[in-house]
Structure 1
Amino acid sequence: MSNNAMVSRVENDRVLVLERVFDAPRDLVFKMFKEPEHLKRWWGPKGWELPVCNIDFRPGGVWHYCMKCIDKNQGDFYGMESWGKGVYKEIVEPESIAYTDYFSDAEGNENADLPATEVAMEFVDLNGKTKLISRSQYVSAEALKTVMDMGMLQGITETWDRLAESLNELK
């Protein structure tokens, strides 16, 4: 697997597994998911920014954020806001983060019309590089299809590309 290649697969019709190797030490890759000042630099697909990013990084803590499209070339998406909320379940620094991810509104109220995701991220040390493995579990195959149809795979690919760029700038 090359540094730029993300591998994805679906298990049991409702679990999306993503893997990618980043050319950066595990502690740094983990830190990029922990601190708002880092997340603001890379979270979201190309042409989107993170004007709101509040993190209480502990089990039971909440990550509440807003992605906003700032790219006029994205047509109807330009100016759109997409709010999200994560509730951390387990954190083992610098090895893993588990949280429930919800679509939300600006006040942090969960959007019951869109599927929640149980996310488990593993950060594997590869002698100075880091393999990131993300397992996103949905309640049903239909829920996974809903987010895939929304362009989630392209969005996370672009997001992880931006993470790689930010890591390269910090090394």
Structure 2
Amino acid sequence: MTSALPAMTSRVENEKELVLERTFSAPRALVFEAFTTAEHLRQWWGPRGWDITHCTVDLRPGGRWHYCMTCMDQEQGDFYGMESWGLAVYDEIEAPERLVYTDYFSDAGGEVNAEMPSSQTTLTFEEVGEGTRVISRSVYGTEGALKTVMDMGMLQGVTQTWDRLAEHLAAQGG
């Protein structure tokens, strides 16, 4: 059933805002939970070949989601064994409709990497028939900051990540 849904779409607005959309075959409450609980995030977050090796979620305004993606796929060459740490600080939570957080690159201790771009991300979860449309709007400080993450392969990574989410939701009966 998931394959019948449209793939993720992306566009850039105002030169520094990345907008992503995809509809998932699962109820809104489950999709929201998949984005906000460590148990779910460990199962799908990250591109193919990357596993979540650390994940903590403190879902409250001012709370933090701290995670590490580790490349476990030897076929990814130089990336094999590489770690990528991330930190999100929640600004607003309106379950199951909306989630707003500031997204950072970080280190293992949860310290923000100020040399890498951050974004203010708003996720909305809209009921569409028996599914859920997720709209992600990530605003970067500058056009150059958005270009940096795009050049790092952001769209390919998010496409694979959201494909993994669709598979995870299907396995949950969603």
Q: Give the corresponding residue for 2:156.
A: 154
CA offsets 1:32-57 (integer angstroms, 9 cap, x no match): 01110100000000000001000000
Amino acid at match of 2:84: S
Give the whole-Å Cα distance in 2 for the aligned partners of 1:145 and 1:118.
Answer: 15
Q: Give the corresponding residue for 1:6.
A: 8
Q: Give the corresponding residue for 1:63.
A: 65
Give the whole-Å Cα distance in 1 for the aligned partners of 2:37 and 2:129.
Answer: 23
Given the two structures, how large is their TM-score scaled by the length of structure 1?
Answer: 0.98
Q: Give the corresponding residue for 2:45.
A: 43
CA offsets 1:121-148 (integer angstroms, 9 cap, x no match): 0000112200000000000100000000
Could you say what the CA RMSD is over the residues aligned between the two structures, in angstroms? 0.7
Q: Which runs of 4+ in 1 moved over 4 A?
A: none
Higher deviation after alignment, 94-103 or 3-12? 3-12
Number of corresponding residues: 170
Q: Give the corresponding residue for 2:107.
A: 105
Amino acid at match of 2:31: V
Give the whole-Å Cα distance in 2 for the aligned partners of 1:169 and 1:4.
Answer: 19
Q: Give the corresponding residue for 1:168.
A: 170
Aligned pair 1:15/2:17, yes or no? yes
Give the whole-Å Cα distance in 1 for the aligned partners of 2:23 and 2:5.
Answer: 5
Give the whole-Å Cα distance in 1 for the aligned partners of 2:63 and 2:135.
Answer: 22
Give the whole-Å Cα distance in 2 for the aligned partners of 1:65 and 1:79.
Answer: 15
Amino acid at match of 2:127: D
Within 5 Å, which residues of 2 pair with 1:100-139?
Answer: 100-139=102-141
Amino acid at match of 1:7: T
SS of the counterpart of 1:132? strand
- Is residue 69–residue 78 contact of structure 1 (8 Å, CA) maintained in 2? yes
Amino acid at match of 2:28: R
Give the whole-Å Cα distance in 2 for the aligned partners of 1:93 and 1:83.
Answer: 26
Give the whole-Å Cα distance in 2 for the aligned partners of 1:91 and 1:26.
Answer: 14
Could you tell me which runs of 5 or more consecutive residues in structure 1 were left unpaired when the two chains were aligned: none
Could you tell me which runs of 5 or more consecutive residues in structure 2 were left unpaired when the two chains were aligned: none
- Is residue 4–residue 161 contact of structure 1 (8 Å, CA) maintained in 2? no
Give the whole-Å Cα distance in 1 for the aligned partners of 2:6 and 2:53.
Answer: 27
Q: Give the corresponding residue for 1:82.
A: 84
Q: Residue 169 of structure 1: CA displacement?
A: 0.4
Q: Residue 4 of structure 1: CA displacement?
A: 4.3
